[in-house]
Amino acid sequence: MLKLEIVTPEKRVLDAEVDSVTVPTVSGEAGILPNHASLVSALKPGILSYTQKGGGDKFAVSGGFVEVSGGTVSVLVDTAESADEIDVEAAKAARETAEKTLSAAGQASVEENESTREALDHAQTRIQLAASK
């Protein structure tokens, strides 16, 4: 078993014993099982999922960090929402705003558009998770 903690600046979203966790790291999805090697990694916007006694759940997470140490998976993110918590209309509006900002940016460098791309990825993740409920 793993202890999974998901924390945002506003609240502790989850504190549970789980069988496995999958997180969206900047270098790709990482699956975490009991006895996983210690790890610290940046997270990108995406879907965090976990299994627990045959069931499980998913959260749309924004950027942040994950730390795996001694059987504990600590996820520190700006936001974490379950499918039921997502306001689909707000997510669609955020996606539209990010798309307009990117198209208006024209030839701006990747670095200059990074936060807008992250906002777009986060909005798309929220829409995807809400559609799967």
Residues 64, 9 share a domain? yes
pTM of the model: 0.82
* CATH number of domain containing 77: 2.60.15.10
- pLDDT (tens digit per residue) in 19-46: 999 999 999 999 999 999 999 999 999 9
Q: Count up the domains in the chain and report the number.
A: 2
Task: From 47, 45, 32, 127, select the one nearest 89 (Cα to Cα).
Answer: 127
Residue 41 near residue 110, CB atoms below 8 Å = no
Residues 65, 24 share a domain? yes
- pLDDT (tens digit per residue) in 67-114: 999 999 999 999 999 988 888 888 889 889 888 887 876 666 666 678
Residues 92, 70 share a domain? no
Residues 124, 63 share a domain? no
Write out the residue range of the structural domain in which residue 50 sits. 2-81
